[in-house]
Amino acid sequence: MTRHERAFVADSPPIEATLTASPKALDPTWDVSKIATRGHVLTARIQRLSKLLFLPALALGLVSGYTVLRSAVVPSFATPPEWIAEAFTYDRNTYFDLGGGLKGPPELAWLADYAPTPESLSQADYDALTAAVVKDVSAYGLSPENWTELGGLKTPAKITSPPRLLSEFSGRLKDGVAVVDKDGGKVSVAAYVGGRWAITAIGRGRCATVIGPIAKGCEDATSQRGFNEPTLAIINSFKPAGKE
């Protein structure tokens, strides 16, 4: 061993001193730390991913291309396979998730900011709430200061106007809220019931549930084909100022 080689061995640290539990602590003088950089690792991963996705992408391209060419020759073949059609189509009336299992159009996307919470009314409590409001409206109309039935509930519901429902009292929806629209001459009950949205329109001696679980004794006015105009009018009356 030459003098230079003996000096190199003497100055080099023991191999055990360079081994650690973390790869981040590799000795930068090691060749591996200079070769296996983050860039090398990411490049290798991308190359591997490209190889794995090549055949699926090719198959999708062939199927799509075949469909386009075939439809150009045979017009009746214009409809693509169902799984392809579903990937590129949507129903605008149910596109946005508004929470609590409710889906709606873009115009109601803001409602998702007030999505129902697990803490909510039971069906029995909701039935009692709507029944109380129906009795009060039948007896006293749009004068909630005279209502008596609502105050007798186990958990008295808040009474407010449409614009204040969500902007000020959204936290009370778990207990139910009686919404009195004196200008429009309408009353409704809004609540979270079983973790779902629930809205029931109230009239003298009658009621109709427009969203969510049907209140006992009320008409089923819910729709499986999106929101009708009366329902949209009720919901939009709750929209806080400035919401888009």
Q: Which of 153, 156, 181, 158 is nearest to 238 (CA)?
A: 181
Task: List the one residue out of 123, 121, 132 whose CA is nearest residue 175.
Answer: 121
Distances 143 to 70, 207, 211 between C-alpha atoms, Å: 68, 18, 25
Q: In this structure, is residue 32 part of a structural domain?
A: yes
What is the edge-to-edge ordering of all strands in the sheet holding 177-181? 158-160, 177-181, 186-193, 196-203, 206-211, 219-220
**Residue 242 is assigned to a structural domain of this protein:** no
Same domain, 129 and 228: yes
Q: Are 110 and 167 in contact (CB under 8 A)?
A: no
User: Do 122 and 14 lie in a common domain?
Assistant: no
Regarding whether 159 and 54 lie in a shared domain, the answer is no
- Domain residue limits at 189: 98-237
Mean pLDDT value of segment 158-165: 95
pLDDT value of residue 56 = 78
The total number of structural domains in the chain stands at 2
Q: Which of 152, 203, 175, 227 lies closest to 212, judged by CA? A: 227
Over the stretch 60-105, which tens digit does the pLDDT of each residue have? Answer: 777 767 666 665 555 444 455 555 555 555 566 666 678 877 888 8
> What is the pLDDT confidence band of residue 49, given thresholds at 50, 70 and 90?
confident
b/e code 137-150 from CB counts within 10 Å (16+ = b): beeeeeebeebebb
Whether 243 is covered by a domain: the verdict is: no
Are 31 and 83 members of one domain?
yes
Entry pTM? 0.62
